[in-house]
């Protein structure tokens, strides 16, 4: 199974603060929707909360929590990443997207095959981070730069990293 991580990450590796995103980049949201559409998305319970406890439409939503009583509508609740992979396989998918947050990225990056990173060109203060991308293990396969415009307060770069 292909394990892909997808994240928007500042130049100093921040991905969030107070369980919120730190930017609004419509092109990145469109990219995220397009990449993950019709696919399984696996997320930590806090990221699900950051989505206002609403499952993403058009995708198999899988939420990881240690809380055995946790319930969510339109989503499958599991208690480990191994269980998430089992659900994905049982539904006949051959790829899953880890969509955050920091804890989930940290736990899954060593199992991942592909990283879709939107590098947001700012240094911001935050409380949640994407792990360092070790260039001994990962090679940059695609890099597309975008400048600031009326809808995007930060320049950003779409990057695709593949495991070496």
Ligand X SMILES: NC(=O)c1ccc[n+]([C@@H]2O[C@H](COP(=O)([O-])OP(=O)(O)OC[C@H]3O[C@@H](n4cnc5c(N)ncnc54)[C@H](OP(=O)(O)O)[C@@H]3O)[C@@H](O)[C@H]2O)c1
Nearer to ligand X, 67 or 92 (CB): 67
Q: Shortest approach of ligand X to residue 21 CB, angstroms?
A: 5
**Residues whose CB falls within 8 Å of the CB of residue 85, separated by 6 or more in sequence, listed in order:** 1, 3, 96
Gap between the Cα atoms of 109 and 51, Å rounded? 22
Does residue 62 bind ligand X (CB under 6 A)? no
Q: Quick one: CA torsion of 125, 131, 132, 137, rounded to 10 degrees?
A: -160
- 40 is a contact residue toward ligand X (CB under 6 A): no
Q: Give min distance, CB of 6 to ligand X, in A.
A: 7
Out of 12, 19, 91, 135, the residue judged to bind ligand X by CB under 6 A: 19
- The residue among 23, 55, 50, 39 whose CA lies nearest residue 146 is 23
Q: Which stretch binds ligand X (CB under 6 A): 53-61, 62-70, 90-98, 144-152?
A: 62-70
- Find out whether the peptide bond into 101 is cis, omega within 30 degrees of 0: yes
Task: Please enumerate, as own/partner, the contacts of 147-152 that have beta carbons within 8 Å and a separation of 24 or more.
Answer: 151/26, 151/27, 152/25, 152/26, 152/27
Residue in 4, 25, 102, 112 binding ligand X, rule: CB under 6 A: 102
Specify the residue, 82 or 164, whose C-beta has the smaller distance to ligand X: 82
Instruction: Summarize as ranges the residues that interact with ligand X (CB under 6 A).
Output: 7-8, 15-16, 19-21, 43-47, 50, 64-67, 79-81, 99-104, 107, 128
């Amino acid at each position: 199974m292909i394990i892909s991580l997808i994240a928007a990450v500042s130049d100093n590796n921040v991905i969030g603060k107070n369980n919120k995103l730190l930017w609004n980049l419509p092109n990145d949201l469109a990219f995220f929707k397009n990449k993950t559409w019709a696919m399984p998305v696996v997320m930590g319970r806090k990221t699900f909360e950051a989505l206002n406890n609403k499952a993403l439409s058009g995708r198999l939503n899988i939420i990881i929590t240690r809380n055995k009583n946790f319930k969510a509508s339109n989503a499958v609740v599991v208690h480990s990443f191994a269980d998430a992979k089992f659900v994905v396989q049982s539904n006949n998918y051959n790829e899953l997207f880890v969509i955050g947050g920091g804890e989930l990225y940290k736990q899954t990056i060593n199992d991942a095959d592909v990283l879709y990173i939107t590098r947001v060109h700012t240094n911001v203060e935050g409380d949640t981070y994407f792990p360092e991308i070790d260039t001994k293990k990962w090679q940059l396969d695609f890099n597309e730069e975008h400048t600031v415009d009326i809808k995007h307060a930060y320049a950003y770069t779409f990057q695709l990293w593949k495991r070496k």
